């Protein structure tokens, strides 16, 4: 069984867009997310005709990439929480189908190459029925949170 998503990446609700890891290999990770009708952004995007914002679908892919990198770091012996994912490049985003409240998506990221501490990946989102939703290429660096203001977690 995979570890909880929140044990691997710093994202938390209301800005956590991955529910669980489905499977992983040394070069890829697949996760799932169900979009809930009560999520606040649906009130304004769009009233009476809610649709999931494309930028949040992209963020779900980027968070899945962060999960992949956290699992890679864990496998190499890094301590949990020893780094944070920093997005450094986004390219070739293609949207193919909308996602509505209640839809479940399958998110897949694949490592393409690693150069000088930057991991290049491709990501895709599909509906549970296999319908293609989006594809995107992106680059992430895994960095120590030095210089970053760290706040105490609220109880």
Whether the link from the prior residue into 93 is cis, omega within 30° of 0, is: no
Of 32, 45, 110, 112, the catalytic one is 45
Cα torsion 138, 15, 56, 124 to 10°: value is 50
Q: Which residues is 1 bridged to in the sheet?
A: none
Q: Is 11 a catalytic residue?
A: no
Helix ranges (H only) for 1-142 are 54-75
d(CA 54, CA 72) in angstroms, rounded, equals: 27
Please list the active-site residues: 45
């Amino acid at each position: 069984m995979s570890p909880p998503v929140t044990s691997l990446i710093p994202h938390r609700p209301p800005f956590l867009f991955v529910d669980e890891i489905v499977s992983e290999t040394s070069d890829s990770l697949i996760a799932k997310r169900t979009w809930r009708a009560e999520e606040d952004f649906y009130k304004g995007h769009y009233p009476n005709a809610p649709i999931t914002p494309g930028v949040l679908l992209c963020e779900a892919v980027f968070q899945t990439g962060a999960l992949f990198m956290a699992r890679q770091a864990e496998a190499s012996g890094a301590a949990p929480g020893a780094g944070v994912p920093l997005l450094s490049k986004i390219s070739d985003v293609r949207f193919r189908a909308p996602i509505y409240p209640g839809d479940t998506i399958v998110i897949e990221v694949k490592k393409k190459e690693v150069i000088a501490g930057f991991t290049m990946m491709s990501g895709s989102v599909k509906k549970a029925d296999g319908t293609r939703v989006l594809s995107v290429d992106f680059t992430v660096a895994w960095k120590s949170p030095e210089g970053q203001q760290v706040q105490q977690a609220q109880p």
